[in-house]
Structure 1
Amino acid sequence: MSKAKVWVVLGIAVLALAAGCISSEAAEALRIGLIPAEDQREMLKQYEGIIEYLEESVGMEIKPFVATDYSGVIEAMRSGKLDIAYFGPFSYVLAADVANVEAFAVPMRSDGRTTYNSIIIAHAETGIKSISDLKGKTFAFVDPASTSGHLFPRAMLQKAGIDPEKDFSSMVFAGGHDAVELAVKNRKVDAGADSDKTYDRMVKDGLIDPKVNIIIAKSDPIPGSPWAWRRDLPDDLKGKFKAAILEVGTKRPDILAKMSGGIAGYAEAKDADYNVIRETAKILNLDLKSLN
């Protein structure tokens, strides 16, 4: 066979895998998606250890992928180009609606909690002390499909009588949680929405000062960001991956110690855990399909 024909055959094989034709016996790599909650390089760096652990535990090469936005991971799952992904709660609900995915694990903190909070922050020099002070100010959300960076803070704003489209002098989507914090820190915007996990990590790392980026509001608890797989993956592969994720906290706590958010391990998750996200979207009259 000529070299040209060899490359054609290889190309067809690659396309077959990209189309979702994966099996536990034939697949050479498991494709894992990560929402761009932070800078892409930072995300890959943080997950380097757990990717290596999963490769050893599952017995397959793991290929991580960080999209440029949340919808990129959802679309990749929908089209079969990813097998498993780590979503935010809201982006998971969107993916479950259009990509036939199912949650199976959720991060657990050292105190056993599997929830976190959305926060609204403001630069200290703006004089903003509460949500009511935000009218006429500039504001940054994370991404339209972000839970703590858009869905929940929008609900908090609405409850306080603020319409982001009408009451802010300008509004942007920064693309990542860390990007919102830095935008506020550098006075690119007056205020923004973030997760307490990213805020705490950036304070700990000295990237932001809590006396400068001040928290002016905090949401009710939000169910944690889930790992979710395509429902059509082989059951044996699902079992291996789930077991590995649920055991990493006891087998390799050193890996989790290097990740942001204070993750101590993972607990089992199910789709119904995220009904509160669906209900919040309904309250805001958000069309889930329009955000994907």
Structure 2
Amino acid sequence: MFRSLLLAALLMGVGPSYAQQTELTIGLIPSEDSRAMIAQSKPMMDKLSAALGMPVKPFVAADYNGVIEALRSKRLDVAYLGPFSYVLGTTQAPIEAFAVAETKKAGRTSYQSVIITNKDSGIKSVADLKGKTFAFVDPSSTSGHLFPKAGLIKAGFNPDKDFGRVIFSGSHDSSAIAVQNKKVDAAAVADRILDAAISKGIVKQEDIVIIWKSDPIPESPTVWRKDLPPDLKKRIQAAFLEVKDIPWSDQGTLNGFHPTNDAAYNIIRETAKILNLDLKTMK
């Protein structure tokens, strides 16, 4: 199949860059154990491989910055990034959002950040967080840092001064587990990842209390390097838009992908301004 695609590309005069593309590498953000993520992504990778006529391989970096750096250095062609890590990434690498996923469970292309506590913590509101230990996910995490921090500020809470101690756990699952095991008093996580952790038995719903929810956040985009050949981009987007009814990462069964673009994430840039964040200096 790939040979026929390659011949067609050459006959259409698309140039050597597409002809030299022998595989596609897709980066995933570390929302849970990397081996589990790779295993769960296999149906998706297989679908894309069949549509594109070339091997499609997943790659899970240690953190958000690892995915962005791999895109910048051209070790990745496509990546699944958090909304804020995408906006941050556009200041460091030539990348562009092109698709956004909708799952059957969510039925939407947005999600929310939630602040959770253990039922035994005695914490009932944002004000009760003063002096407590708190876990964010990653400095570049939209639902695990950016939006909850802005929400706390809007509620009159100073996250830089009012907590007793703050940690970055590295993943949403780790934060939820830390709350359940009473290693921290509270944490900020994505609602859909919390739901997945509960459904898998990683944490118990009866042990978790939600004390705050954010406004809707645009769902995590799938992005590509801008320097990929235009014809290959068209084929990649078409391949993504054809995929549906398979498990997708930690989000459940996929309804399908929808086209998106960079402008859809301006709300993230606006929230960064509220926090006085200089995206160009962040890493």
The letter of the residue matching 1:136 is G
Deviations 1:108-165 (A, max 9, x none): 1336411000110011111111111101000000100000000000011111222222
RMSD value, Cα: 1.5
> Aligned with 2:19: secondary structure?
coil
One-letter identity of the residue aligned with 1:99: A
Q: Could you tell me which amino acid in structure 2 is paired with residue 116 of structure 1?
A: Y
Q: Aligned equivalents of 1:35 and 1:217: distance in 2?
A: 24
Q: Which of 247, 250, 258 pairs up with 1:256?
A: 247
Q: Which SS does the other structure have where 1:165 is aligned?
A: coil
Which position in structure 1 is the counterpart of 2:39?
45
Quick check: 1:103 aligned with 2:97? yes
Alignment CA distance shift 1:262-1:181 (3 Å): farther
Amino acid at match of 1:134: L
2-side partners of 1:261 and 1:158: how far apart?
Answer: 32
Matched, 1:240 2:231: no
SS in 1 for 2:243: helix
Which residue number in structure 1 is paired with residue 7 of structure 2? none
Taking structure 1 as the reference length, the TM-score comes to: 0.88
> What SS is found at the alignment partner of 2:30?
coil
The match for 2:26 among 24, 32, 45 is 32
Structure 1's 97 and 215: CA in aligned 2 closer, same or farther, altered over 3 A?
same
For residue 259 of structure 2, what is the amino acid of its counterpart? Answer: E
The answer (yes or no) to whether the contact 2:84–2:146 under 8 Å persists in 1 is yes
**Which residue number in structure 2 is paired with residue 86 of structure 1?**
80
Whole-angstrom CA distance in 1 between matches of 2:58 and 2:41: 9
| Identical pairs, percent | 54
Question: Which consecutive segments of 4 or more residues in structure 1 shift more than 4 A?
Answer: none
Q: Measured at CA, do residues 247 and 96 of structure 1 come closer, stay the same or move farther in structure 2, by a change above 3 Å?
A: same
Instruction: List runs of 5+ in structure 1 lacking aligned partners.
Output: 1-21
More divergent stretch after superposition (276-285 vs 158-167) = 158-167
Q: Distance in 2 between matches of 1:206 and 1:31?
A: 31
Match of 1:65 in 2: 59
Q: How does 1:155-170 map onto structure 2 within 5 Å? A: 155-170=150-165
**What SS class does the counterpart of residue 102 from structure 1 fall into?**
strand
Q: Please tell me whether the aligned partners of residues 196 and 250 of structure 2 are also in contact (alpha carbons under 8 angstroms).
A: no
Cα 1:206–1:268 shift into 2, 3 Å: same
Q: Distance in 1 between matches of 2:151 and 2:253?
A: 25
Other structure's SS at 1:192 match = strand
Letter in 1 for 2:110: T
Which amino acid counterpart does residue 197 of structure 2 have in structure 1? Answer: M
Deviation digits for residues 160-206 of structure 1 (CA, Å, limit 9, x no counterpart): 22222211111011001111111111111010000011011111222
Task: Name which of 173, 188, 195 aligns with 1:193.
Answer: 188
Does 257-266 or 63-72 show the bigger shift?
257-266
Asked if structure 2 preserves the Cα contact closer than 8 Å seen for 1:137 and 1:170, the reply is yes
SS at match of 1:125: coil
> Match of 2:239, as an amino acid?
A
Match of 1:183, SS? helix
1:278 to 257, 269, 272: 269
Q: Who is 2:3 aligned against?
A: none
Determine if the alignment matches structure 1 residue 175 to structure 2 residue 170.
yes
- Could you say what secondary structure the match of 1:227 adopts? strand
Q: Is the 8 A contact 1:137 1:168 kept in 2?
A: yes
Deviation at residue 260 of structure 1 after TM alignment: 2.1
Q: Which has the higher helix share?
A: 1
Q: Tell me by how many angstroms 1:257 deviates.
A: 6.8
The change in CA–CA distance for 1:73 and 1:246 in structure 2 (over 3 A counts) is: same
TM-score by length of 2: 0.90
SS in 2 for 1:167: coil
> Cα deviations across residues 208-231 of structure 1 (Å, max 9, x unaligned)?
122212111110000000000011
* Partner Cα separation in structure 1 for residue 233 and residue 98 of structure 2: 9
CA distance 1:51–1:257, change in 2 (3 Å): closer
Q: Would the aligned equivalents of 1:85 and 1:229 in 2 still touch at CA under 8 Å?
A: yes
Residue 268 (str. 1) matches residue 259 (str. 2): yes
